[in-house]
Every structure is written in C-alpha cells, then in structure tokens.
Amino acid sequence: MTKTHSGSCRCGAVTYEIEGEFKRFFLCHCKRCRKASGSSNAANLFAPDAKLTWLTGEDKVKSFTLPDTRHGRSFCIECGGMLPRIRDGMAVVPAGSLDTEIDIRPEAHIFMEFRADWDDHLEDVEKLDGGPQ
C-alpha cells in the first residue's frame, strides 16, 4: 500500500504531498549537510520512485545544487524552510518538513568523520520541555 505524507515550509507558503514509501532515513554529518542545515546534521528520508506534488506555493520553491556534486537543497524563498526534491528518481525529503507522522526511524548517522567537535555526548545535555528561563 502506497503511503501519502504531507509537509510544508516554516511559514506555510509552500505545502506538498509525497506519495511513496520511505525506504531509508539517514542523519548526515558531512560538512555540506551541516552547512545546509545550520546544525550538527541533516535528517533526510529517501523514497525511490515517489511522486512529489506541490499543493501550494510551487512558485516559492527554489533549488540549488552545488556545482560538480550531487549535493542540493530545495527551500522556500520566503522563509528558507527546507523542502523535498527529486534527484535521479529518488525523493529526498527533509524529515523536519513533514507535517505527518512517519513509521521509520533513522537507521544510521553517516559521515561521522566530519561531525562537529561539539556534537559529542549530546545525550548528557539538559533537556527542557520549553525554552530556557
């Protein structure tokens, strides 16, 4: 049974549906993904032969591919929120852009040799339900 998930950018100007099954889920620590995400890693889901449909705001979707690489990103030009893209027949979906729940968990941290120096023992960092006081 094919699953359909929906998602959006941060400001809600762009909404989408992705029809297909997520087969892989990686947390990538390569330098390019760290730069693109502004964080310790990028959390991306991969769905071969998935169908991506822009429901609203397709004109606000901008894509960038780093020259001479396969590394690229799609994002909302209004808020910068990361969005899915199709690469070589594979949907690459930023996990944080989804508005629906998924039934797959990350299977691996990849490119750990490039991880940030501060990305160590994060399980020991205080966890707050809200923002700091």
- 122 versus 112: the higher-pLDDT residue is 112
Q: Which two tokens stand for residue 48?
A: 């071969």
Assigned domain for 32 exists: yes
Neighbours of 74 (CB within 10 A): 24
Assigned domain for 50 exists: yes
pLDDT at 82: 96
Cα–Cα distance, 43 to 75 (Å, whole number): 15
pLDDT averaged over the chain?
A: 93
* CATH code of the domain covering residue 38: 2.170.150.70
With cut-offs at 50, 70 and 90, classify the pLDDT of residue 59.
Answer: very high
Cα–Cα distance, 69 to 52 (Å, whole number): 23
Whether the pLDDT of residue 55 is over 80: the answer is yes
Assigned domain for 120 exists: no
pLDDT at 1: 61
Per the structure, the complete domain to which residue 41 belongs is given by 4-115
Whether the pLDDT of residue 6 is over 90: the answer is yes
Assigned domain for 10 exists: yes
Assigned domain for 129 exists: no
Assigned domain for 124 exists: no
Whether the pLDDT of residue 71 is over 90: the answer is no
Assigned domain for 60 exists: yes
Task: Domain count for the chain, please give it.
Answer: 1
